[in-house]
Amino acid sequence: MAANPTGVGGHENGWAKTFRTDNWWVGPAVTFAGLSAWLLYYFWAAWTDANYAAGPYMSPFYPFYLHHAPEGGHAAFFGMLPGWWPALISPALVAGFAPGAFRITCYYYRKAYYRAFFGTPPGCAVGARPQDYRGETFLLVFQNLHRYALYGALLLLPYLYYEAAMGFFHEGEFGVGLGSIIMVMNCVFLSFYTLGCHAWRHLVGGQLNCFSCGAVPRLRYGAWQGVTKLNENHMRWAWTSLIWIAFTDLYIRLVAMGVITDPNTWGGF
């Protein structure tokens, strides 16, 4: 039963009802537009299954371990996908499963999409969508496995660094291009986001109650402090890494398509 009969206190009940006079809707609207645009671009880029490699550069949407080797590029780590594999599920979609699960269950993105997409609630002191609310105890109980999605994302990071390192070697010759730098920055932003994860913060030390009880807890305390620093800016790194990974794909795609020319020390590809 509600705390007050209808009308008492002057409050209104119902979807998006509020007395707020500020632009509370801007945040969820920008989030909705930003995430929707990103998803549209990602699915388009993943389904095209083309123009993901240029010279030594590989799109981060198409990790090297699960695709056919691009001409002049490094070989696929696990070889090609089998012939019976449905074309609709491109290598990029397969590769996107672990990072996708990591972001979907991320404590920051949960706030973002619960507000922007599901309206539970759309804003603070703004009426939530009426429903038999069960939080994360029923259908959304899978959110509790965020740490497993983290493990997948952590495994992918070295691959992305490897790809970024390979971006400095074109046909065996060391060099530097704008694409190499963009790929390295992509790895750095993704590292800041992944290593600032709340579940990671818990696992490295947050689960302890006594940081001073021995050498290992003290080491974990140091790690926890470091992760806490990144965690304080988790939203910033979530967005920066999300935008940059798409930008990296777009840059390599445009170079591959010949729309732009990558400035580099190799004198072109």
Partner 1 sequence: MPNRTIRVWRGNQEGGKFEEYTVEVGEGVVVLDVIHLAQAEHANDLAVRWNCKAGKCGSCSMEINGKPKLGCMTRVSDYGPDEVITVQPMKTFPVIKDLVTDVSWNYRQNERIKPFTPRPRDADGQWRMTTEDVERVQEFRKCIECFLCQNTCHVLRDHDKRDQFVGPRFMIRLAQLDMHPLDVEDRIPAAKEEYGTGYCNITRCCTEVCPEHINITDNGIIPMKERVVDRYYDPIAMIARKLFGGK
**Which x/- pattern over 62-101 shows residues binding partner 1 (rule: CB under 8 A)?**
----------------------------------------
Six token digits for residue 48:
């095209």
Six token digits for residue 131:
């429903």
Q: From 247, 42, 61, select the one nearest 159 (Cα to Cα).
A: 61
Among 144, 233, 261, 265, binds partner 1 (CB under 8 A): 144
Q: Is the peptide bond before 121 cis (omega within 30 degrees of 0)?
A: yes
Q: Rounded to the nearest whole angstrom, what is the least distance from the CB of residue 151 to partner 1 in the complex? A: 9
Sequence-ordered alpha helix ranges (H) in the chain: 26-48, 91-95, 97-104, 107-116, 146-166, 178-194, 198-201, 215-231, 234-256
Q: Which stretch binds partner 1 (CB under 8 A): 177-185, 229-237, 242-250, 255-263?
A: 229-237
Q: Which stretch binds partner 1 (CB under 8 A): 40-48, 76-84, 88-96, 133-141?
A: 133-141
Under the criterion CB under 8 A, does residue 18 sit at the interface with partner 1?
A: yes
Q: From 263, 245, 240, 259, select the one nearest 179 (Cα to Cα).
A: 263
Reported as half-sphere exposure (CB side, CA atoms, 13 A), residue 211 has a value of 12
Among 38, 93, 117, 121, binds partner 1 (CB under 8 A): 121
Six token digits for residue 151:
């493990």
Under the criterion CB under 8 A, does residue 139 sit at the interface with partner 1?
A: no
Under the criterion CB under 8 A, does residue 103 sit at the interface with partner 1?
A: no
Q: From 92, 89, 133, select the one nearest 114 (Cα to Cα).
A: 133
The site that binds partner 1 (CB under 8 A) totals a number of residues, namely 54
Among 135, 158, 263, 268, binds partner 1 (CB under 8 A): 135
Nearest to partner 1 of 126, 164 (CB atom): 126
Q: From 32, 36, 37, select the one nearest 119 (Cα to Cα).
A: 32
Q: What does the alpha-carbon distance between residue 260 and residue 95 come to, in Å, rounded to a whole number?
A: 27
Nearest to partner 1 of 126, 183 (CB atom): 126
Nearest to partner 1 of 5, 267 (CB atom): 5
Angle (nearest 5°) at CA 14 between 8 and 16: 115
Whether the CB-CB separation of 51 and 256 falls below 8 Å is answered with: yes
Among 29, 33, 50, 145, binds partner 1 (CB under 8 A): 145
Q: Which stretch binds partner 1 (CB under 8 A): 92-100, 155-163, 199-207, 237-245?
A: 199-207
Binding residues (CB under 8 A) for partner 1: these are: 1-5, 7-11, 13, 18-22, 107, 110-111, 114-115, 120-121, 123-125, 127-128, 130-131, 133-137, 140-141, 144-147, 198-199, 202, 206-207, 209-212, 221, 231-232, 234
